[in-house]
């Protein structure tokens, strides 16, 4: 099979590096273009990444010698994955979509636009109906699909089956988020070593708002947001990778604890699609001291949400922990799964 050529915008960053690693042996996609800021453009990837490659192992052979380009829509590829800083992502992504590229973005800029899918493939594939509306309305030859915020992704993967079966009324979530979530060089070591920082700019709003769009319903060409009260508190903690979330939920229909666990355990709507990055999306750990970021963040290739400590809550109905890999399922891996779904559905 001829592989589909893809480009990475923001290829030098933390999420960009993750794309390069995850796509290095992908059966459907081949990285043909890398792009970043003006200061990186014109140089070989290997040269720019000296002392900046932060992932295990070496830079994959096939991309080492690719020359970084500017983020302009003259790249030789069909799909671009955008891991751009949010300060620049919005207009760059629009330019690419206008010129006919399929843009799959990890940046926040277009997530809440009413004609842009905010997609988790297992959760709301029907939101892809927005693509045609977006193209028509904006005169784009291509289109933009966005991937949610990293914490929101893992939260919604777990809330989806519960909402479908028992109807969620309220969610209280407190996050403990890893430092890689702030990009590179990210947060200063003097601020985070031996510390917890109870503030991540815009993060609480992103979780509260994106969740309602993702769990909403497509009706008459638009999304009706879910009617759930979501309250989020976000903290940056001294962990390299893996966001932990402590979640309590109130449900309209009251399941037994076995029904609650069974509902999460059965959830695997893409199991017959044979997508290369698919894993069973929820893993339940029964040990009372799990999940833990260092031990569990790479279970199922970093593509699953790891749930543990499921128990009754004396204020709402149930409480539990969710651990999610932020740069894989919460970043590049989640966006690659979107591209795989688009191909499966013959949208690309």
Q: Are 160 and 123 in contact (CB under 8 A)?
A: yes
For ligand NAP, the closer of residues 202 and 345 by Cβ is 202
Residues in CB range of 296: below 8 A, 6 or more apart: 242, 285, 290, 306, 323
153 CB contacts (<8 Å, ≥6 apart)?
120, 147, 324, 329, 330, 334
Residue 35: CB atoms within 10 Å: 26
- The residues pairing with 218 across neighbouring beta strands, listed in sequence order, are 223
CB of 27 to ligand NAP, least distance (A): 24
150 assigned to active site: yes
Rank residues 122 and 250 by Cβ distance to ligand NAP and give the closer one.
122
Q: How far is the CB of 331 from ligand NAP (least distance, A)?
A: 4
Q: What is the nearest approach in angstroms of ligand NAP to the Cβ of residue 253?
A: 33
Q: Minimal CA–CA distance to 334: which of 178, 111, 153?
A: 153
How far is CA 75 from each of CA 46, 140, 212, rounded to the nearest angstrom?
19, 17, 35
Q: Is 274 a catalytic residue?
A: no
Residue 10 or 142: the one with the smaller Cβ distance to ligand NAP is 10
Could you give the CA distance from residue 44 to residue 36 in angstroms, rounded to a whole number? Answer: 12
Q: Which is nearer to ligand NAP, 59 or 162 (CB)?
A: 59
CB of 147 to ligand NAP, least distance (A): 7
CA R_g for the chain: 19
Question: Which residue out of 77, 150, 156, 234 is catalytically annotated?
Answer: 150
Nearest-10 crossing angle of helices 203-214, 150-166: 40
Give the nearest residue (CB) to ligand NAP: 13
> In the bound complex, what is the minimum distance in angstroms from residue 258's beta carbon to ligand NAP?
34
Pick the closer one to ligand NAP by CB: 168 or 176: 176
The binding site for ligand NAP (CB under 6 A) comprises 10-16, 36-37, 39-40, 71, 83-86, 88-89, 106-108, 150, 180-181, 183-184, 326-327, 330-331
Strands 305-312 and 318-324: antiparallel
Query: 22, 94 in Cβ contact below 8 A?
Result: no
Closer to ligand NAP by Cβ: residue 165 or 297: 297
CB of 251: closest distance to ligand NAP in angstroms? 29
**Residue closer to ligand NAP, measured from CB, 37 or 174:** 37
Q: Closest approach of Cβ 73 to ligand NAP, in Å?
A: 13
Give SS3 for 13.
coil
Q: Which residues of 114-151 are buried (b: 16+ CB within 10 A; e: fewer)?
A: ebbbbbbbbbbbebbebbeebbeeeebebbbbbbbbbb
Burial class (CB in 10 A: 0-12, 13-18, 19+), 78: middle
Positions annotated as catalytic residues are 150, 243
């Amino acid at each position: 099979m001829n592989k589909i050529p893809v480009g990475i915008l923001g290829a030098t960053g933390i999420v960009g590096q993750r794309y390069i690693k995850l796509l290095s042996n992908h059966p459907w996609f081949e990285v043909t273009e890398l792009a970043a800021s003006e200061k990186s453009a014109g140089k070989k990837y290997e040269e720019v990444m000296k002392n900046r490659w932060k992932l295990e192992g070496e830079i994959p052979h096939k991309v080492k010698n690719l020359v970084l380009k500017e983020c302009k829509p003259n790249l030789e590829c069909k799909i671009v994955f955008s891991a751009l800083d949010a300060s620049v992502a919005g207009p760059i992504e629009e330019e690419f979509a206008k010129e006919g590229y399929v843009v799959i973005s990890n940046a926040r800029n277009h997530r809440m636009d009413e004609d842009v899918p905010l997609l988790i493939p297992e959760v709301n594939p029907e939101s892809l109906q927005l693509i045609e509306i977006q193209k028509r309305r904006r005169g784009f030859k291509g289109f933009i699909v966005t991937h949610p915020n990293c914490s929101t992704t893992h939260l919604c993967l777990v809330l989806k089956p519960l909402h479908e079966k028992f109807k969620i009324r309220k969610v209280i979530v407190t996050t403990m988020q890893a430092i890689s979530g702030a990009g590179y060089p990210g947060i200063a070591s003097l601020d985070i070593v031996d510390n917890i920082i109870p503030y991540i700019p815009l993060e609480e709003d992103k979780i509260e708002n994106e969740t309602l769009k993702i769990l909403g319903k497509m009706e008459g060409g638009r999304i009706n947001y879910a009617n759930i009260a979501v309250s989020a508190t976000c903290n940056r903690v001294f962990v390299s990778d893996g966001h932990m979330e402590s979640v309590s939920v109130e449900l309209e229909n009251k399941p037994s604890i076995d029904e609650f666990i069974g509902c999460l355990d059965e959830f695997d709507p893409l199991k017959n699609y044979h997508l290369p990055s698919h894993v069973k999306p929820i893993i339940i750990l029964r040990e009372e001291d799990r999940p833990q970021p260092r031990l569990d963040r790479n279970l199922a290739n970093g593509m699953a949400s790891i749930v543990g400590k499921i128990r009754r809550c004396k204020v709402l109905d149930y409480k539990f922990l969710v651990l999610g890999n932020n740069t894989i399922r919460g970043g590049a891996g989640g966006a690659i799964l979107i591209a795989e779904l688009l191909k499966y559905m013959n949208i690309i």
